Amino acid sequence: MILWYFSALAIEENTLPVHYDYIARFFSVLLGAFAAFRFNAFFESRKSENEKSKFYLELCSDNYDTFYATLDDLNNNRVDWIYAARLLMETKSLEEEITTAEHQTVLVIKKMKVRHALLNQFQVIDEENNTESSLPVSFFYGIPNWKEYLDSPDDAADESMKFDRPATFGEYEVSKMERLPMLTDKSVYAVFEFLSYPKDFEEPLDKLNYSDTWPQRVKSFAGEGAYKYVKHSRDYVPPERGISKENIAKIIKDGGITSSEK
């Protein structure tokens, strides 16, 4: 811009030849072309980065679908758990290539879905006694009838040892190997390390502008019962327990009541 200003001034004062204006214009066009080239290069770089990030997002998402499908329906097969754990670890390393913020958010949601679906399965619910518990020791011994040994881990261990010993085989028969049904330590840890929410997990519900007094648009009609439930649960004190609302609030504040999912 300075060059352009002084060249114009010089031409006006006749201190430079008139054709110098064409030279200045040439350099101005050249600078403009260079700037456009740099902008296009930057744009293409961002586009390439976005496409690369999207590719790895789709790959990781597909891997998490496979991971879930492998462990679905309370599958306690040793080989499948090793495969699922390996796939999980490799996918974690691929996540580093997902650099776009929007893609990273989509991946967080995908992992949340998989965690929730598996956690819903990895528990034993006793409808009669209204209780729930984590998977028992017998499940991890890899035996198909693990539910028969819910409170008998020793018997489950013995059952897992009842595999066929390698038999002698003829010239045209394939060899046999001992079958070890119990799950490996590392595969079990890898899966449950994933199922536990990370320390840096940002609770989406913290973004909710929540207050005890619901706005009319939320608590009207469809939300009326929900609002009255929340209000009732705050006010009601079970008579057989004899716990005051103040004590209940203190128990919650002290951590006596916590969420089981997070």
What is the average pLDDT across 140-155? Answer: 93
120 with 175, same domain?
A: yes
16-20, 124-128, 218-222, 258-262: the lowest-pLDDT one:
258-262
34 in any annotated domain = no
Q: Are residues 198 and 247 in the same domain?
A: no
| 222 and 119 within one domain | no
- Within a domain: residue 217? yes
In a domain, 258, yes or no: yes
Mean pLDDT over the full length of the chain = 81
Predicted TM-score (pTM) of this structure: 0.70
Note whether residue 74 is domain-resident.
yes
| Better-scored residue on pLDDT, 109 or 244 | 109
Categorize the per-residue pLDDT at 46 as very low, low, confident or very high, splitting at 50, 70 and 90: low
Reported confidence tier of residue 124, pLDDT bands at 50, 70, 90: confident
Last residue of one domain, picked from the residues 184, 206, 228: 206
Residue 73 lies in a domain: yes
Same domain? 213 vs 200: no
Whether residue 89 is found in the same domain as residue 141? yes
* Count of structural domains, the chain: 2
Query: Is the same domain home to 137 and 240?
Result: no
Q: Last residue of some domain: 181, 206, 231?
A: 206
Mean pLDDT of 150-171: 79
Residue 262 has pLDDT above 60, yes or no: no
* Among the ranges given (22-26, 59-63, 73-77, 229-233), the one the predictor scored with the smallest mean pLDDT: 22-26
Q: Is 128 part of any domain? A: yes
**Residue 67, both tokens:** 């991971």
Q: Is residue 41 part of a domain?
A: no
- Let me know whether 179 and 220 are in one domain: no
pLDDT higher than threshold 50 for residue 215: yes
Mark whether 199 and 101 lie in a shared domain. yes
Q: Are residues 67 and 181 in the same domain?
A: yes
Residues 88 and 154 in one domain: yes
pLDDT band at 197 (very low <50, low <70, confident <90, very high): confident
Say yes or no to pLDDT of 82 above 90. Answer: yes
Judgement on whether residues 163 and 224 belong to the same structural domain of the protein: no
Mean pLDDT of 70-85: 96
11 part of a folded domain: no
Domain containing 65 equals 53-206
- The three state secondary structure string of the chain is CHHHHHHHHHHHCCCCCCCHHHHHHHHHHHHHHHHHHHHHHHHHHHHHHHHHHHHHHHHHHHHHHHHHHHHCCCCCCHHHHHHHHHHHHHHHHHHHHCCCHHHHHHHHHHHHHHHHHHHHHCEEEECCCCEEEECCHHHHCCCCCHHHHCCCHHHHHHHHCCCCCCCCCCCCCCCCCCCCCCCCHHHHHHHHHHHCCCCCCCCHHHHCCCCCCCCHHHHCHHHHHHHHHHHHHHHCCCCCCCCCHHHHHHHHHCCCCCCCCC
- Together in a domain, 190 and 65: yes
